[in-house]
Structures are given as structure tokens and as C-alpha cells.
């Protein structure tokens, strides 16, 4: 039921438009969510932009990253380390997850995906869809066998984030009319770090040059002696590792459930972002990530304040953006003709 005409709803809307604290709260929440979406979607964009691979397994890598990180922070007793120790251990876990899932991505690319580059796209879609189902069911067997999500395992999975999240990150800081949590600040910082890192990778490294050359003209890049297959492997590794890093960040976020359906829950908005931004466009992915994050935060605010009494209003608004974009600008905000084409 959607009810936007009640006096209460109108009053809450007026409060948002006239209250600096409410406006900044929505903006900060939007930036934090946008940073998470950026970490999820940027790997998908890199993989499609160079390889023309629509990777349905991308969400499964995020889900694996969340589970691995959750087990690690509890097994290592991160919650009892203090703020500095917990944060340091968290980032070590994040690096380890990146490396682990990047290696897994290399294995998949070399043994499975590489064999289908010369086939029509439907073959790649079916392959990556099969990979994600396999990864999800494998994790489901582990989770159900160990009763991880029900909290019956000996590491106490029932509340991993509540028991391991430092109070400095969970608490709210107020500066003037600006309110934010330490976790939101860390998410935004990680989003900026990933943005800067990917920009540096694409513009300041040898492999970044190869990636940009392959995106522009794969045949010419091959003629110039660039090993495109090795570049494909490196890009798939980076994309898979970034998806795992996003899962590590989601593990501590109370708005996300760490479970097997998380793979689909992150994959759908990631595809929306890639399409809205423009297929294969890094700049488009950045803009679309924060646009979707702000829309998501606005929808969450509308439900929490009673302006709209529909539980999935944030998801509805996100997919409404996709529909409007496909009607008005099918190539996306920054998509160009031929972007991501390879032959």
C-alpha cells in the first residue's frame, strides 16, 4: 500500500525539505550506499568494458567475500581487539579476500570463460549463470550443514556484525547539523579509495594502458603485440577481487543480510548501475552508483518516516530509473556506440 497524501506524510516531506539535518542525513546515507554500489559495480564494468562478458557470477563473488570476512572476524576475535586492532585486522582480511577471490576469478577465466570468447554472447551468459548457481548451492550446502546463519555453529554466526563491529564505527557523530556514523564514513572513504585506485590502474599502469587499448580496438591492440588474453585474465581477477572486497564491507553493514540470496541482492542493482551509466563506461558507473545510492537513501528515508508505506520503495525507485533510462537514453548516461564491442 502506498499512501503519500496523509497529513503526516506531507509534514515529513516538508521537514526533509526544510531541515538541514535531514537533508544531510539522506545525502550522507546516499554517499555511503553509493560507495558500496560503486565497489560492487565497478568490477562488472571493467569485465564487460574490455571482455564483453556479462558476468552473472559477479554477485556470488560478493556473497563469498561477505561470508569469508564474517567467519574471519569472528574466528580471530576482532570484536575484542579494540578499535585500532579491529580496524587493522579488518583491512588485512579485506586484502586477503581480494587476493583469494582474484585467484578464483583467474581460475574461472582461464579454465572456463576463455574457451567461449569466440562464441555468441548467449553462451557466456549461460556459463556465468551456471557458475553463480553452482557457487550459491555450494555455499548453501556449507551454511545449512553448519547451521551458520541460525547461530548454532561454534563461532556464533547469529550476530557477526553486532559482536565484532567496534563501537567507534557503530556510534553516531554529530557536527553541527551533520550526523553520521563511523561505518558510513569508512564506506565513503573506501569508495573514494576504490575510485582513485581504479583510475590509477587504468591511467597510470601498463596493464591499464592495455585495457584502454583493448576497449578501443581489440584487433589493433593484438596487432601491436599486446597479449589481450593475459589482459583479460588480469581484468577478470581485479573485477572478482573488487566484488569480494564489497562483500567484506557489506558484512559489517546492518542494512544487509549475509546469506546466500545476497548474491542476487547485489547483482540486480549492479546491473542497473552499469546500464544506467553506460555499458563499459567507468565514468558512467561512478555517476550511476552515487545516483542509485542517493535514490536508495531517499526511498529508505521515505519508508522509515512513513511518507510512503511500501517496504520495497527503494528497490522500486532504483528500477524505475532503469526503465526511464532505457526509454529516454538506451545507451546510458555516458555510453557510446561500439562501447565494449569486440568484433
For 6-39, the DSSP string reads SHHHHHHHHHHHH-HHHHHHHHHHHHHHHHHHHH
The reported pLDDT for the residue numbered 130 is 92
Cross-strand partners of 178: 175
Give the largest Cα separation in the chain, rounded: 68
In this prediction, the residues of the chain whose per-residue pLDDT falls under 50 are 1-5, 8, 10, 151-156, 158, 340-343
Q: What is the pLDDT of residues 35-67, one digit of tens each?
A: 999 999 998 888 887 677 888 999 999 999 998
The reported pLDDT for the residue numbered 5 is 46
Structural domains in the chain, CATH included, are 7-328 (1.10.3470)
Q: What is the pLDDT of residues 182-213, one digit of tens each?
A: 888 999 999 999 999 988 888 888 877 877 77
CA distances from 190 to 40, 75, 116, 126 (A): 12, 24, 34, 33
Cross-strand partners of 179: 174
Amino acid at each position: 500500500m502506498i499512501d503519500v497524501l496523509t497529513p503526516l506524510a506531507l509534514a515529513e516531506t516538508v521537514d526533509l525539505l526544510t531541515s538541514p539535518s535531514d537533508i544531510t542525513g539522506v545525502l550522507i546515507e546516499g554517499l555511503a550506499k553509493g560507495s558500496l554500489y560503486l565497489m560492487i559495480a565497478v568490477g562488472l564494468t571493467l569485465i564487460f568494458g574490455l571482455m564483453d562478458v556479462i558476468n552473472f557470477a559477479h554477485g556470488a563473488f560478493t556473497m563469498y567475500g561477505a561470508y569469508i570476512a564474517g567467519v574471519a572476524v569472528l574466528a580471530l576475535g576482532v570484536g575484542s581487539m579494540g578499535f585500532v586492532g579491529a580496524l587493522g585486522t579488518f583491512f588485512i582480511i579485506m586484502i586477503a579476500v581480494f587476493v583469494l577471490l582474484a585467484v578464483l576469478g583467474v581460475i574461472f577465466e582461464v579454465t572456463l570463460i576463455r574457451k567461449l570468447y569466440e562464441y555468441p554472447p548467449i553462451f557466456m551468459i549461460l556459463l556465468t549463470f551456471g557458475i553463480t548457481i553452482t557457487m550459491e548451492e555450494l555455499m548453501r550446502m556449507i551454511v545449512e550443514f553448519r547451521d551458520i546463519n541460525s547461530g548454532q555453529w561454534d563461532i556464533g554466526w547469529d550476530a557477526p556484525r553486532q559482536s565484532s563491529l567496534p563501537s567507534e564505527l557503530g556510534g553516531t557523530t554529530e557536527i553541527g547539523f551533520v550526523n553520521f556514523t563511523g561505518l558510513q564514513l569508512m564506506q565513503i572513504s573506501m569508495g573514494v579509495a576504490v575510485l582513485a585506485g581504479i583510475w590509477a590502474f587504468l591511467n597510470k599502469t601498463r596493464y591499464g594502458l592495455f585495457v584502454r587499448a583493448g576497449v578501443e580496438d581489440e584487433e589493433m591492440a593484438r596487432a601491436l603485440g599486446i597479449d589481450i588474453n593475459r589482459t583479460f585474465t588480469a581484468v577478470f581477477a581485479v573485477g572478482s577481487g573488487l566484488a569480494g572486497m564489497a562483500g567484506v564491507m557489506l558484512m559489517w553493514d546492518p542494512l544487509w543480510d549475509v546469506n546466500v540470496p545476497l548474491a542476487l541482492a547485489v547483482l540486480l542493482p549492479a546491473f542497473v548501475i552499469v546500464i544506467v551509466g553506460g555499458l563499459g563506461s567507468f565514468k558512467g558507473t561512478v555517476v550511476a552508483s552515487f545516483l542509485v545510492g542517493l535514490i536508495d537513501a531517499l526511498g529508505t528515508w521515505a519508508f522509515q518516516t512513513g511518507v510512503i508505506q511500501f517496504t520495497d520503495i527503494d528497490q522500486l525507485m532504483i528500477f524505475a530509473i532503469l526503465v526511464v533510462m532505457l526509454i529516454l537514453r538506451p545507451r546510458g548516461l555516458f555510453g557510446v556506440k561500439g562501447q565494449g564491442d569486440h568484433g
